[in-house]
Chains A and B, each alone.
Chain A
């Protein structure tokens, strides 16, 4: 496979540079004053020129947040977070809502070029427009929404998608242009007071993506959002809302990076998905926030609430995540399977190296009859990394004939790391069937030697074996991302053996 060769090359490049996305962009920024109070919430809402109902909505969330306690049940350790010592709004100073890329600050364009994120639209070959169209380079185009600290700086292919009635834009823009849709769905999957971090997000969210796929439309290209934290002492609170109307289909990807800093920065996102009758949403994440250095200094706290509602019959929501970054990951992308015969899937690879900690998994709520869910989790721990799979499968009394299959595999590299599996199963329906399998293994010395005898270096051997271990998950990713993810896996594990 070319991916493997590329992996090897990338590692060779990366060996000297470590986290190669860790640079900082020097750009003039506008900040809200440090700290968090009602005025800050009002400031953000005013900055976004929001309607009164949304400000009210934020203030209710803020009131709820003030009464809540930070959750401490996850198997992660970190010092208390001072919520008053952070900026909640940081935006590059530039024209509001640039109409074209020519109006975007060149420093920003350079940043995305350096990150390898295509903001420019490729020419689509004349005469082959439509679902199968392929640009000159032979790759399917990817529409990108680029979020830089607190704001979306550019969204590509908007017009092209608009022709099919697809809305793909920054959520702050959708509030202005499609308030009825935003109002109808916002907070209906993850309510404002759902949990501490979701409440915080609801109060101060600044940007994120909004997607609406109309009835019967199959989105002709991958949609993606690329999140970049750049400013110091700043939290990122993005909010994403994706609605797939009846019979529609969309594949959405998210990626992210941040500069290397000694301080920890908070990223508390909320993602809500709604799938109506016969709709499918495929949501893929390659999470590559700065993980901190080899001694565990710095890195992003990734405290994220992601949930999808399969409201319609035969709807399907599939989460695929490759979690390589962040100092701490706390996330449980979940599915509420309401519609009869609806399907939820969760495919996850989580890597913890050095002092990284991950407590991640999923929740599958089976409500409708014959709902089905599949959970495949691959946890890899190296260095002093701690990796916990935490999952809940709840089958309601009316979920006749529901099925769940869960498989949790852990791979340990070295003997200072840890892997933990915490599966909860609550079944209130006799005709439902729940299966759970779990394994823990190590990369064996004989496997490494076998590879090295054939000419692979130690690092290449680890990369190959880990990619093999994660295969079932990686094959769920869209092609382009799979290659990227394979590279990342190997880079994240650098220095973990030998």
Chain B
């Protein structure tokens, strides 16, 4: 399980996270909602170890391991996956090459056998079919020239291949059409089980109709100000963040 206690962090000397307390037990899916600029992406970067996101206090452990002490790639190998709000383009690097390199790097770090080109291709095709993605996405440069929705689907494909034990999805639903939203949600739901947990960052209740969360948290100005069941998301949608803030 993911356990965050009193986590504070700053960017460029500016305090952004001001004491986050959050527990995501094994097998659960939690949603984080909150206004623009409240620190949602910052939390995802701090947890995944991005440079420039300075932890100033508190702790974060995953299955008992102090993840804040690990290199980003070690966190990845330990099973942490971040679906980026803005997936990055890697010109000239084939998507298949990237996926296979990543998968094998993680397998190697975990002491598992690496997949050869044929084994990988078989696996990738299988997962792509499940996500209704066409094969030619594998041949193209990583995210280069992908539409917004294709980029998000590519993140989900990576998740499906890397099989993390905890996934942080940062606004993976933004910019998706209705069909793509359903595909992404199905991708996440297919992973649900006792060994998978997720933090789903979103602005829209709509996604949570498809991925029904165990808990919903509201992040405002660097703090979790309210937590509740799936009904909290509906409440927010109806009343806005102002009401939550007033009550808090």
Contacts and interface: CB of A to CB of B under 8 A. Distances in A.
Contacts of B178: none
Interface in B75-127: 75-77, 81-82, 84, 87-94, 96-98, 100-106, 109, 114, 116-117
Contacts of A5: 100-101, 104, 114
B67 to A, nearest CB: 13
B32 interface: no
Given A1-B100, A464-B98, A453 B76 contact: yes
A449 B72 contact: yes
Contacts of B141: 468
B8 to A, nearest CB: 21
Contacts of A460: 101, 105
B226 interface: no
Contacts of A456: 73, 101-102, 105
A468 B76 contact: no
Interface residues of B, number: 39
Given A452-B72, A464-B98, A469-B92, A2 B77 contact: no
Contact of A467 (B77, B89, B93, B158): B93
A95 interface: no
B51 A449 contact: yes
A138 interface: no
Contact of B106 (A455, A469, A470): A455
Nearest to B158: A454
SS of A interface (majority): helix
Interface in B207-236: none
A447 interface: yes
B90 A464 contact: yes
Given A1-B97, A4-B100, A5-B114, A455 B105 contact: yes
B71 interface: yes
Interface string B52-86: 10000000000000000001110111000110100
B138 to A, nearest CB: 12
B188 interface: no
Contacts of A465: 90, 93
B84 A454 contact: no
Interface in A446-476: 446-447, 449-457, 460, 464-465, 467-472
Interface residues of A, number: 27
Contacts of B104: 5
B105 A8 contact: yes
A453 B97 contact: no
A457 B105 contact: yes
Contacts of A452: 49, 71-73, 76
A452 B76 CA distance: 8
A468 B144 CA distance: 12
Contact of A455 (B49, B52, B77, B94): B77
A452 to B, nearest CB: 4
Nearest to A448: B51
Contacts of B73: 452-453, 455-457
Interface string A1-36: 110110010000000000000000000000000000
B72 A468 contact: no
Given A449-B72, A457-B73, A471 B92 contact: yes
A1 B94 contact: yes
A446 B76 CA distance: 16
B110 to A, nearest CB: 10
B97 to A, nearest CB: 5
Nearest to B91: A468
Contacts of B50: 449, 453
B162 interface: yes
B48 interface: yes
Nearest to A5: B104
Nearest to B77: A455
A415 interface: no
A464 B101 contact: yes
Contacts of B90: 447, 450-451, 464-465, 468
A469 B141 CA distance: 11
A2 B117 contact: yes
B113 to A, nearest CB: 12
A472 B117 CA distance: 22
A489 to B, nearest CB: 12
B82 A453 contact: yes
Contacts of A454: 76, 98, 102, 105-106, 158, 162
A146 B114 CA distance: 36
B132 to A, nearest CB: 22
A123 interface: no
Contacts of A451: 90, 98, 102
Contact of A450 (B84, B91, B114): B84
A419 to B, nearest CB: 17
Interface in A421-463: 444-447, 449-457, 460
B174 to A, nearest CB: 18
A454 B84 CA distance: 11
Contacts of A4: 97, 100-101
Interface in B6-65: 48-52
A162 B48 CA distance: 62
A468 B93 contact: yes
A447 to B, nearest CB: 5
A454 B109 CA distance: 12
B88 A450 contact: yes
Nearest to B75: A453
B92 A468 contact: yes
Nearest to B82: A453
A407 to B, nearest CB: 13
Contacts of B48: 453
Contacts of B106: 454-455
Contacts of B82: 453
Given A450-B87, A464-B98, 15 more contacts: A1-B96, A1-B117, A2-B117, A451-B102, A453-B75, A453-B76, A454-B76, A454-B106, A454-B162, A455-B105, A456-B102, A456-B105, A464-B93, A467-B93, A470-B92
Interface of A: 1-2, 4-5, 8, 444-447, 449-457, 460, 464-465, 467-472
7 contacts: A445-B52, A446-B88, A450-B84, A452-B72, A455-B77, A465-B93, A467-B93
Interface of B: 48-52, 71-73, 75-77, 81-82, 84, 87-94, 96-98, 100-106, 109, 114, 116-117, 141, 158, 162
6 nearest A-B pairs in the assembled complex, by CB-CB distance: A468-B92, A468-B93, A454-B102, A455-B106, A450-B88, A471-B92
